[in-house]
Amino acid sequence: MTDVTIGQPVRRSEDERFLTGRGRYIDDINLEGQARAVVLRSVYAHARIKNIDASGALAMEGVLLVVTGEDWIAEGFGPMPTKTAIRKNRDGSELSEPPRHCLAIGRVRYVGEPVALVVAETDPIARDALDLIDVDYESLDAVTDAVEALAPDAPQLWDDIPGNLCIDFELGDREGVEKAFAEADHVITLDLENNRVTAVPIEPRGCVGSYDPETDTYLLYNSTQNVHAIRDTLAENVFGIDKEKIRHIAPDVGGGFGVKNSAYPEPPLVLYAAKKLGRPVKWINNRSESFLSDTHGRGQTSRVQLAIDNDGTFRALRTETVAGIGAYCWTIGPFTPTGGSARTQGGPYDFPVMYYRSRAVFINTGPMDPYRGAGRPEATFQTERIIEYAARQLGLDPIEIRRKNLMRPEKLPHKTSMGLNIDCGDFPKVFERTLKLADPGSFAERAEQIKTAGRRFGFAIAPYLECTGGGPKEFAGVAFGADGTVSLSVGSQSTGMGHETSMAQLLAARLGIPFERVEYHQADTDKTPIGGGHGGSRGMELGGNAVAQAAGEVIEKASGLAAHLLQSKAADLTFEGGSFKDSGSGASVSMVEVIEASFDSERLPDDLEPGCLDTGSTFERGEISIPNGCHAAAVEVDPKTGAILLLGYWVVDDFGTIINPLLADGQVMGGVAQGIGQVLTENIVFDDSGQLITGSLMDYGLPRADGVPDMVIEYYEGAPTKKNPLGVKGAGEAGCVGSLPAVVNAVLDALKEFGVVHIDIPLTSEKVWRAVQDQGAHDPKGLIEGAL
């Protein structure tokens, strides 16, 4: 009999391993005879490579190999392509995609771009050898601002891509929006920045690779979120070999947040070096290199316009965005500012019409790729900021205009102007529940005390609507052992989210077996034939449903054996609470007993063999689900110093069916903390020459524990989706989606008496102080003017 149920807050079983130092991360993996690799990275944002002289490095004792771009091309290796689903310009033409090789070919286009690989006996020797490689650069003009990159006289990154334009994308009803704008009482315009950030996982990227000449196969250990997709890219696109020639394994991964979802150049370089040298090769990124070479996220300059009537009714929404995606398309870089940000425009509000246009632009900076939310936080920020701004401009109550325009549950299912199919939910109920939890009226006395002390109180509420994503198929395999163990292998992947617990909990609850018997396996291309890894909040929606589907197949197989044991007919049996019961005789047998019998040849019927209950199941999603919810924040701001203190935070989320509320809480808290970090301190900054200014933890401000408030989190489970059998909607990214506007709008609420209606994030103390000193002087237009 199982000891767990769906919906139970089961504590994470993997934490004992992690907290006692028994986790196995990429730097814990060492193969016999391994060499160490380091990467020489460009010190220029834009330059021609006139010559590379590696003779000094190769002459150094202990140096085994130096690989340059010319060497790479001579081997015939291919570039790594973008896998973006958005490939068409507004006029129907294809997006512009430059080749992305693992090493720079003839020209560097961002500081940190790999120029050469050095392999040596030890890491210190390899790093010393970097100084002996003489690269003759011819410096070129660089451009790091996306709007400036579109100007006719801007430096051109690619000779065959005019105007630095990767893609010009649009979605929605342009004519309908223009008509609504002409008829509305007001059109409110706001230009805003969603600043560039990076994930900074506690574990940097790294990999260890080896080659077996007898089988002509590779083994790659990699700190990544997506072993199958990256394996396929390396095999098919870079090396031109069958994907089965590479076994790709991710050990324990210390945080991903999207930054480890991309195909990077270092793993194929390591595999090549391992084959070339005939020995394993290991590469580990350090923190400074991570800032230069890890992908970044967000980074959009937008003009948002809201058509609104005098009574607060929303008539239309228009958003125009320019996003710098770095020097290459990377893995799916153009998707985030285009389709990724377009889908959830307008949030849970009943906008009659919407229009979204975005241009993804090449600039001389590090790469852009998905970062937790990948467009949904950007869309919610754009929507919620223009609503708050319009309320201030028109003297309307920000809470009331939101309440007035929320989509009513009776309108669902509904397809938005962005093509998003919202099947279920109760946005007004979630909104009112969040307000009740926060109870802003109860802060009146506290607010007065704060004001008496010279500070100001602020409150804001921010409903949000997002959607899941990632690959549409997932595999789960269940295999039983004669010793009672149950092996569960799943193609989705945890990078710290607790799948080892939640997936085992789901299987144990469905089969009625002891939770502790389940052994969980993930992130190994030899364990599952397919796998979508981690990304797009797909873990439970895809992986969980694959597990549930596999459990159903086990029950179906086990029913025949149970009937044999009970001397009944399978059609007469029911399965409930972990036992098969004969509806006629009342006799029963537990799933545990059936599993034990499946390994006893004397108890098996003639047509079955030991292992007959094992199964492998592929679940395919029809449509993405629509998580939604509402965030509220209360803050205290000191106008004399610009200091911000978060006093309270409240969240009500609709994730459909909650498998494990304890783990869901962790996902929400982590996402909110990342959102708070972006709002208050995090910022990737390049100077005009393309040098990274925020290249260490001395310069890049991560959120700290004392800056994250206690959170009150509740779930609305009254509208489980019918888009998947479990009724789940995805929880991994929602915290980032609602937190940005909730905190920003709360701060601006605190500053309203000073005339401050907008400050671009991050809201550093200096920015807040200057805004107060300027008495809110703000031009709502101008940031994106040159690109319109």
pLDDT at 2 over 70: no
> How do residues 631-651 score in pLDDT, each as one tens digit?
999 999 999 999 999 999 999
- Band (pLDDT 50/70/90 cuts) for residue 608 is confident
- Band (pLDDT 50/70/90 cuts) for residue 547 is very high
88 and 140 Cβ atoms separated by less than 8 Å? no
Give me the torsion for CA of 358, 362, 363, 368, rounded to 10°. Answer: 70
Residues 6+ apart with CB under 8 A from 671: 372, 373, 732, 733, 734, 735, 736, 737, 739
| Torsion sign over Cα 604, 609, 613, 619 | negative
pLDDT at 235 over 60: yes
Give the span between the Cα atoms of 547 and 357, in whole angstroms: 39
> How do residues 177-231 score in pLDDT, each as one tens digit?
999 999 999 999 999 999 999 999 999 999 999 999 999 999 999 999 999 999 9
Give the span between the Cα atoms of 58 and 120, in whole angstroms: 10
Residues 6+ apart with CB under 8 A from 407: 348, 349, 350, 414, 422, 427
Long-range pairs, 710-713, Cβ under 8 A, ≥24: 710/648, 710/649, 711/649, 711/650, 711/651, 711/668, 711/669, 711/672, 712/437, 712/648, 712/649, 712/650, 712/651, 713/650, 713/651, 713/652, 713/653, 713/665, 713/668, 713/669
The pLDDT, as a whole number, for residue 606 is 84
Give the span between the Cα atoms of 475 and 405, in whole angstroms: 41
- Band (pLDDT 50/70/90 cuts) for residue 775 is confident
Give the span between the Cα atoms of 644 and 456, in whole angstroms: 10
> How do residues 385-418 score in pLDDT, each as one tens digit?
999 999 999 999 999 999 999 999 999 999 999 9
- Band (pLDDT 50/70/90 cuts) for residue 1 is low
Mean local confidence (pLDDT), 761-771: 97
The token duo for 427 is 């946005």
Give the span between the Cα atoms of 446 and 455, in whole angstroms: 11
Mean local confidence (pLDDT), 437-454: 93
Mean local confidence (pLDDT), 543-564: 97
Give the helix/strand (H/E) hosting 446. Answer: helix 444-452
pLDDT at 103 over 60: yes
The token duo for 550 is 């596999």
Residues 6+ apart with CB under 8 A from 68: 52, 54, 103, 115, 116
The token duo for 360 is 């993804």
Mean local confidence (pLDDT), 579-598: 94
Residue 728 DSSP class = B
pLDDT at 680 over 80: yes
> How do residues 290-343 score in pLDDT, each as one tens digit?
999 999 999 999 999 999 999 999 999 999 999 999 999 999 999 999 999 999
DSSP string, 733-785: SHHHHHHHHHHHHHHHHHTGGGT----PSS--HHHHHHHHHTTT---SS-SSG
Amino acid residing at 728: V
> How do residues 131-173 score in pLDDT, each as one tens digit?
999 999 999 999 999 999 999 999 999 999 999 999 999 999 9
Q: Left if phi > 0, otherwise alpha if psi is -120 to 50, otherwise beta: which for 325?
A: alpha
Strands 47-53 and 107-108 come out as antiparallel
> How do residues 515-538 score in pLDDT, each as one tens digit?
999 999 999 999 999 999 999 999
Residue with tokens 């990256």: 230
- Band (pLDDT 50/70/90 cuts) for residue 780 is low
pLDDT at 757 over 80: yes
> How do residues 685-704 score in pLDDT, each as one tens digit?
999 999 999 999 999 999 99
Residue with tokens 């033409």: 93
Q: Which of 334, 41, 326 is nearest to 158 (CA)?
A: 326
The pLDDT, as a whole number, for residue 623 is 95
Give the span between the Cα atoms of 633 and 459, in whole angstroms: 6
Q: Which of 140, 143, 167, 145 is nearest to 154 (CA)?
A: 143
Collapsing DSSP to helix, strand or coil, 481 comes out as coil
Amino acid residing at 175: E
Instruction: Tell me the Cα Rg of the chain.
Output: 28
pTM metric for this prediction? 0.96
493 and 544 Cβ atoms separated by less than 8 Å? no
Give the span between the Cα atoms of 387 and 402, in whole angstroms: 8
- Band (pLDDT 50/70/90 cuts) for residue 726 is very high
Residue 338 DSSP class = I
Q: Which runs of E-coded beta strand occur in 454-587?
A: 456-465, 473-480, 486-490, 518-522, 573-576, 579-582
Share of the chain above pLDDT 90, in %: 96
Give the span between the Cα atoms of 551 and 547, in whole angstroms: 6
Task: For 470-490, give one letter per residue: b (16+ CB within 10 A) or e.
Answer: bbeebbbbbbbeeeeebbbbb
The token duo for 398 is 């920000």
363 and 146 Cβ atoms separated by less than 8 Å? yes
Domains belonging to the chain, first-starting first, are 15-22+471-620 (3.30.365.10), 31-140+200-293 (3.90.1170.50), 296-468+624-787 (3.30.365.10)
CB atoms within 10 A of CB 503: 29
For the chain, what is the largest distance between any 2 Cα atoms, rounded to a whole number of angstroms?
A: 88
- Band (pLDDT 50/70/90 cuts) for residue 3 is confident
Give the span between the Cα atoms of 426 and 381, in whole angstroms: 21
The pLDDT, as a whole number, for residue 212 is 98
Give the span between the Cα atoms of 475 and 532, in whole angstroms: 9
